[in-house]
Amino acid sequence: MTETVRPPAFGGARRVVVKIGSAVLSDGGAFDRVTFVSLVRDLVRLRQQGVELVVVSSGAVALGMERMGLTSRPKELPALQATAAIGQGRLMRLWEDELGHYGLRAAQVLLTHDDLRSRSRFLAARQTLRTVLELGAVPVVNENDTVAVEEIKMGDNDLLSGQMVSLVGAECLVIVSDVEGLYDRNPALPGAQRVERVAQIDAQTEASAGGSGSAVGSGGMRTKLAAVKSVNLIGVPAIIAGGRTPGLLRRLYAGEPLGTWFDAQPTRLSSRKHWIAYALRPAGTVIVDEGAARAIVDKGSSLLPIGVRQVEGDFGVGECVRIVDAAGLELARGLVAHAAEPLRRAAGLRGDRAAEVLESDTAEVIHRDDLVVLASGAEG
């Protein structure tokens, strides 16, 4: 981690994804309309500066809780879905009314993980969002909590905001949070210091993150860092900053050192590899030996059966799996060319013998074009 001068104008970005968290829009359990109005005014100012905006807005559950007189976030999925359903219409009404004061229109976009793990639906969502921007409206995106079941949930709007960057080709991600940025340790500890700028998210950075501290939100600093890391890898910078700072977005655009700035990484993932790594939910795990781990991370090689030690899960051809080493460190993710059961039988076998067991012309488990390296090393 390092501290340097903050780039102004979001690093020159002309299209920005702004994620606004539940905890920012909740004041003691009630929806915080003062903060909401302040953020909308800042968004309008950005539009006047020529910045295209995609907003990922939490708040449906908070508004549903307010409507129903609840003081804590429901824990059971049906109750959570019902609360989101009660609040989602109110949330969009607020966005439409407030943006309407400035002659802007809001476009509601509700997504689940299932919408993004299908490549065709991913591309369809991309076209819809880009067309909304061309029409001059402001997309207001949220996870479709009212129908999402656990296995198709994104998990948190922080992660969804990272996907939006890839979907719309944004050039910066701004996560508006209830915390002032990333700290070098738990911010509740004496001497904790906010980090001004992060050159690269590494193990030390991730270790400084804690869990969710909000009664209405589902994410914490770990999910924020995961979203930021995903966009940094496609060459997009990001900011995490406190949403109750007056004029936050306007001041960030001016280059004021608020929150934490995360540098884009020089090695960029393609849109397709970003989709593999961050839009798909792994269906299984392939444990590899030391030689295969080095070949994947250091050389960007394909994965072959001889390097496979163990196969976990019941996945089919073309599904996403995690590649981990013997210590359990996740090295990569990729789309498998073979189903789990034949791959178990072929584990550790060489060339022609592996292909024979797999009943295939190719023995490759995952081709390098379908493999995304997540650990430090080469990326093809």
Locate the domains of the chain by residue range.
Answer: 9-268, 282-373
What architecture is the 9-268 domain classified under in CATH? Answer: 3-Layer(aba) Sandwich (3.40)
C-alpha to C-alpha distance for 165 and 57, rounded to whole angstroms: 14
Tokens of 276: 């593999």
Q: Is 80 exceeded by the pLDDT of residue 91?
A: yes
Q: Is 80 exceeded by the pLDDT of residue 1?
A: no
Which band of pLDDT confidence, cut at 50, 70 and 90, is reported for residue 228?
Answer: very high
69-73, 136-140, 372-376: range with lowest mean pLDDT: 372-376
Which band of pLDDT confidence, cut at 50, 70 and 90, is reported for residue 215?
Answer: very low
43-47, 49-53, 288-292, 376-380: range with lowest mean pLDDT: 376-380
Name 163's Cβ contacts closer than 8 Å, sequence gap at least 6. Answer: 116, 154, 278, 279
pLDDT tens digit string along 96-149? 999 999 999 999 998 877 778 788 888 899 999 999 999 999 999 988 755 554
Q: Which CATH class is domain 282-373?
A: mainly beta
Tokens of 121: 């639906």
Neighbours of 380 (CB within 10 A): 15
CA dihedral sign of residues 276, 278, 281, 286: positive
Which band of pLDDT confidence, cut at 50, 70 and 90, is reported for residue 214?
Answer: very low
H-only helix segments in the chain: 9-12, 33-48, 60-68, 77-100, 113-117, 119-134, 157-168, 203-207, 221-232, 248-253, 271-278, 290-299, 340-346, 351-358
Region of 232 on the Ramachandran plot (φ > 0 left; ψ -120 to 50 alpha; else beta): alpha
Which pLDDT value is given to residue 20? 95
Q: Is 60 exceeded by the pLDDT of residue 280?
A: yes
Mean of the per-residue pLDDT values for the chain?
Answer: 87
Taking the whole predicted model, whether its pTM rises above 0.85 is answered as: no
C-alpha to C-alpha distance for 54 and 18, rounded to whole angstroms: 6
Which pLDDT value is given to residue 210? 58
